[in-house]
Structure 1
Amino acid sequence: MARLQLNKSSLAHQRAQLKTYEKFLPSLDLKRQQLMGERAKAVVQVAEMARKVEDLAQQVGRDVPMLGNSDIDLKGLVRLARYELGEENVVGTKLPVLDRIEVKIRPYSPMVLPHWVDNVTTLLHDMLEARLRVQVARQRVEVLSRAVEVITQRVNLFDKVLIPNARANIKKIRIYLNDEEMASVVRSKIAKRKRAMA
Structure 2
Amino acid sequence: MSVKFQYNKTSQQMLDKQLKIRERALPTLQNKEAALRIEVKRAKKQATELEKELETQMADLDKMSRLWGEFDTDIISIEDVILESKKIAGVQTPVLTDVVFKKEPFALFSKPVWFLDGVTVVEKLAKIAIEREVFLRKMELLDVARKKTTQKVNLYEKVQIPGYKDAIRKIKRFLEDEENLSKSAQKIVKNRQAAQAALAEMEAES
Given that 1:64 and 1:116 are in contact with CA atoms closer than 8 Å, whether structure 2 keeps it comes out as: no
Cα deviation for residue 191 of structure 1 reads 0.2
Structure 1 position 91 matched with structure 2 position 103: no
* Identity percentage of aligned residues: 28
Q: Which runs of 5+ in 1 are unaligned?
A: none
The aligned residue for residue 52 of structure 1 is 53
Letter in structure 1 aligned against 2:32: K
The aligned residue for residue 79 of structure 1 is 77
Residues of 2 paired with 1:52 and 1:108: CA distance? 30
Given that 1:60 and 1:123 are in contact with CA atoms closer than 8 Å, whether structure 2 keeps it comes out as: no
Cα deviation for residue 64 of structure 1 reads 5.9
Cα deviation for residue 61 of structure 1 reads 2.1
The aligned residue for residue 4 of structure 1 is 5
Letter in structure 2 aligned against 1:149: K
Secondary structure of the equivalent of 1:79?
A: strand
Cα deviation for residue 17 of structure 1 reads 1.8
Cα deviation for residue 63 of structure 1 reads 4.8
Letter in structure 2 aligned against 1:53: L
Residues of 2 paired with 1:3 and 1:75: CA distance? 68
2:185 to 180, 184, 187: 187
**Bigger radius of gyration, 1 or 2?**
2
Q: Which runs of 5+ in 2 are unaligned?
A: 197-206
Residues of 2 paired with 1:193 and 1:106: CA distance? 108
Cα deviation for residue 26 of structure 1 reads 0.6
The aligned residue for residue 123 of structure 2 is 125
Alignment of 1:8-19 (within 5 A): 8-19=9-20
Letter in structure 2 aligned against 1:180: E
Note the alpha carbon deviations across 1:21-73, whole angstroms, 9 max, x for none: 111101100000000000000000000111111122122223564123xxx35
Residues of 2 paired with 1:28 and 1:143: CA distance? 17
Q: What is the aligned length?
A: 195
Given that 1:64 and 1:120 are in contact with CA atoms closer than 8 Å, whether structure 2 keeps it comes out as: no
Residues of 2 paired with 1:173 and 1:131: CA distance? 61
The aligned residue for residue 203 of structure 2 is none
Residues of 1 paired with 2:3 and 2:39: CA distance? 40
User: What TM-score, normalized to structure 2?
Assistant: 0.89
